[in-house]
A and B are shown apart, each in its own frame.
Chain A
Amino acid sequence: MTLHDPEIALKATEQTDAAPLVVIDRVSRAYRKGKVAVPVLERHAMTIAAGEMLALVGASGCGKTTLLNLIGGADRPDAGEITVGETRITSLSDGALTDWRGRNVGFIFQFYNLLPALSARANVELPLLIHDLRAAERRARVDNALNLVGLEDRADHRPEEMSGGQQQRVAIARALVTDADLLLCDEPTGDLDQDSATRIMELLSLLNEEFGKTIVVVTHDPNVAAYAARTVRLTRPEAV
């Protein structure tokens, strides 16, 4: 697979007709810098269809990562509602939100965020430790996830013993191992060379097309955004 034409991809921003998995309803989020409230998202509304691959693009500070964190329940909005599937996650308690996140969302970060003390296998197994699974089932799931990302032969290596691309594939395997429907990727290729970035995006496309995963990718890179069926460009609200 070759990279898509970024210009064509950026135009593909129309809403899909599929049933929405994520509904973002007039969500606002601001950060405080001293006494000044800096709005990052203001009454932002959008939907993401189940099985969609969506790119969030925009200038630095426009709220791409903030929106991603809000969708994944890693942060809470100041106002507005977010519903994922049947769950209004903005109404959940902290503990319930954590449990929901562990079951339903896979996160992939720019700098992989693997635990350095653990092998690839242990990193992938990490999200399963809080699920009530037997060791054999955990092992089978980890093997499947590592096979899917093509890293079965590096299972016992630590992050420091792997390339950036391999580490990102481990992170993808970790996001997949709980069979989460929603994968949230924050600059997944931002730290990778072009070949590695291509492989990662091909892998994410495969997960979207073959496994029906709903994928939201935050990126600055038009080449990466081009893999998405739809691109949403965020703009920065005015400071208060």
Chain B
Amino acid sequence: MRLVSLILRNAARSRARVAFTLGSVVVAFLLLGLMLPVLRVFDSRVDFADANRLMVLNKASMMRPLPISYGDRIAELDNVSDVGHFTYFGASYRDPGNEIPAIVTNPAKFPDLVDEVAFRNEGTLSDWQSDPSSIAVGRELADEYGWQEGDLVPLYSSIYTRSDGNPVWTFRVGTIFDGATEDSVTNSVVIPYGFFNTERSRGKDTVGWYAVRIDDANAAETTGEAIDAVFENSPNETATTTERAFAKSFLNQIGDFKTMIGAALILVFWTLVLITANAQMQSIRERFGDFAVMRILGFRKRRIAGMILSESLLMMFAGGVIGMAVAAVAVAIVAANGEALLALLKLDWRDWAIGAGLMAGTGLVVAAVPATLAARQKITDGLAEAL
């Protein structure tokens, strides 16, 4: 027998209690493992949002368009280095329920304005930029539907019909783009504005919103105010904000997700700490006599405290690893079958590191009091408890 074996046998003394305590730890870390990737994906959307990029929207409603002529007037303002525009296409593929993200923009400016994507094939990039009826397709989407450069892809638009009233637009795949980083989303279609604007039946010469690249992020607020001042009292007043602020406010619209998840996690962990601390205290209390015997046999206080801490850590790590492993499998399944942000879910090393930290921290906190009590108790008192 070794000390580790002694710790294991002691820990398993009451199997029912161990099972219930372990179960609570598993559930807590399962929840943690499910929530952390969600939080990170939401965070990453905000992080991706560029502080050096302003969004110029219609002040009345983000759903209302802005005139195409605004672009040139914005470009003349101080601190503005580049201006691009985007329009939401409302695309579906094969059936109206199968929506795919699609935006309309100027292909010439798209690679410079959008840092999140990478065009690795210069030849096909220029092909896309020069062919008005070709589209750029994200790698994930191309892989999902087996699209290759040169394929013709019919897209249904729920917003725009062509001049003949047909809502189906057929495009040629001009190029396929990748993500600039591992976390970048590449499940969208980018449609050239020129062809789209000529062919659509309504809303000509308007855009959904402008993206404005600025030189000095510190002057973002004053630049935004300058832009809005230009179009003040016009039929289409603007509301300008940084992309990061927009991303945050968008997430805030669906509730302060991060705060809610954070609060839920804190509650779960607080409950976990109470449950395990109670079980641990009870378990240690029952063994005060055993610890007194061990002390009398020559086990130092430090060793007794170490054994109790080890027991607690063992419980936390056993339950925690099981919980997070189950979460990893669940997250992988959701990501494999999900779309958009769900497809980005992944329990990565950062989540495991946070989990391991919490396992260690909770294990130590839970065991601190019983370990101290057991180590400090007088041998004679402990022996009296054993009777």
* Contact of A98 (CB < 8 Å), options: B1, B295, B383: B295
Q: Is B64 an interface residue (CB 8 A)?
A: no
* Contact of A122 (CB < 8 Å), options: B9, B380, B387: B9
Residues of B within 8 A of A127 (CB): 297-298
Residues of B in contact, count (CB < 8 Å): 28
Whether A69 lies near B2 (C-beta < 8 A) is: no
Residues of B within 8 A of A69 (CB): 379-380
Q: Is B109 an interface residue (CB 8 A)?
A: no
Q: Is A34 an interface residue (CB 8 A)?
A: no
- Known A69-B380, A129-B1, A129-B6; contact A115-B298, beta-carbon cutoff 8 A: no
CA–CA, A117 to B289, complex, Å?
Answer: 13
Q: Is B10 an interface residue (CB 8 A)?
A: yes
Whether B301 lies near A94 (C-beta < 8 A) is: yes
Residues of B within 8 A of A130 (CB): 297-300, 303
Q: Is A75 an interface residue (CB 8 A)?
A: yes
* Contact of B289 (CB < 8 Å), options: A74, A113, A135, A174: A113
Chain B proximity of A62: nearest CB distance (Å): 16
Residues of B within 8 A of A122 (CB): 1, 5-6, 9
Q: Is A118 an interface residue (CB 8 A)?
A: yes
Query: Could you say which of A95, A127, A129 has the most chain B C-beta atoms within 10 Å of its C-beta?
Result: A129
Which residue in chain B gives the minimum CB-CB distance to A122? Answer: B1
Whether A107 lies near B296 (C-beta < 8 A) is: yes
Which residue in chain A gives the minimum CB-CB distance to B13? Answer: A117
Q: Mark A123-163, 1 if CB is under 8 A from B, else 0.
A: 00111011000010000000000000000000000000000
Q: Is B386 an interface residue (CB 8 A)?
A: yes
Which residue in chain A gives the minimum CB-CB distance to B289? Answer: A113
Q: Mark A45-86, 1 if CB is under 8 A from B, else 0.
A: 000000000000000000000000100101100000000000
Residues of A within 8 A of B386 (CB): 111, 113
Chain B proximity of A10: nearest CB distance (Å): 27
Chain A proximity of B3: nearest CB distance (Å): 6
Q: Is B265 an interface residue (CB 8 A)?
A: no
CA–CA, A107 to B293, complex, Å?
Answer: 9
Which residue in chain A gives the minimum CB-CB distance to B5? Answer: A122
Which residue in chain A gives the minimum CB-CB distance to B287? Answer: A115
CA–CA, A115 to B7, complex, Å?
Answer: 12
* Contact of A75 (CB < 8 Å), options: B13, B294, B301, B380: B380
- Known A69-B379, A69-B380, A125-B1; contact A117-B296, beta-carbon cutoff 8 A: no
CA–CA, A111 to B300, complex, Å?
Answer: 23
Q: Is A7 an interface residue (CB 8 A)?
A: no
Whether A111 lies near B296 (C-beta < 8 A) is: no
CA–CA, A98 to B375, complex, Å?
Answer: 12
Whether B383 lies near A109 (C-beta < 8 A) is: yes
Q: Is B350 an interface residue (CB 8 A)?
A: no
Whether A102 lies near B297 (C-beta < 8 A) is: yes
Interface footprint category on A = 20 to 34
CA–CA, A72 to B295, complex, Å?
Answer: 12
Residues of B within 8 A of A103 (CB): 298
Which residue in chain A gives the minimum CB-CB distance to B304? Answer: A98
Q: Is B290 an interface residue (CB 8 A)?
A: yes
Residues of B within 8 A of A125 (CB): 1
- Known A69-B379, A109-B383, A125-B1; contact A98-B290, beta-carbon cutoff 8 A: no
CA–CA, A72 to B289, complex, Å?
Answer: 17
Chain B proximity of A33: nearest CB distance (Å): 14
Residues of B within 8 A of A174 (CB): 297
Chain A proximity of B293: nearest CB distance (Å): 5
CA–CA, A113 to B387, complex, Å?
Answer: 9
Query: Could you say which of B3, B294, B301, B303 has the most chain A C-beta atoms within 10 Å of its C-beta?
Result: B294
Q: Is B378 an interface residue (CB 8 A)?
A: yes
CA–CA, A102 to B12, complex, Å?
Answer: 26
CA–CA, A141 to B11, complex, Å?
Answer: 26
* Contact of A126 (CB < 8 Å), options: B294, B303, B380: B294
Residues of A within 8 A of B301 (CB): 94-95, 98
* Contact of A117 (CB < 8 Å), options: B12, B294, B299: B12
* Contact of B296 (CB < 8 Å), options: A72, A115, A116: A72
Chain B proximity of A95: nearest CB distance (Å): 6
- Known A113-B293, A126-B294; contact A98-B300, beta-carbon cutoff 8 A: yes
Whether B293 lies near A115 (C-beta < 8 A) is: yes
CA–CA, A111 to B386, complex, Å?
Answer: 9
Q: Mark B174-198, 1 if CB is under 8 A from A, else 0.
A: 0000000000000000000000000
Which residue in chain A gives the minimum CB-CB distance to B290? Answer: A115
Residues of B within 8 A of A26 (CB): none
Which B positions have Cβ atoms within 8 angstroms of A?
A: 1-3, 5-6, 9-10, 12-13, 289-290, 293-303, 378-380, 383, 386-387
Q: Please name 18 further chain A to chain B contacts, defined as beta carbons within 8 Å, in addition to the given A74-B296, A122-B1, sorted by A numbering.
A: A74-B379, A74-B383, A75-B379, A95-B301, A101-B298, A103-B298, A107-B297, A111-B387, A115-B293, A115-B294, A116-B13, A118-B1, A122-B9, A126-B1, A129-B1, A129-B6, A130-B303, A178-B298
- List 24 A-B residue pairs with CB atoms under 8 Å apart, sorted by A's residue number: A74-B379, A75-B378, A95-B300, A95-B301, A95-B302, A101-B298, A102-B299, A107-B296, A113-B289, A115-B293, A115-B294, A117-B9, A117-B12, A118-B6, A121-B1, A126-B6, A126-B294, A126-B297, A129-B1, A129-B3, A130-B298, A130-B299, A135-B2, A178-B298
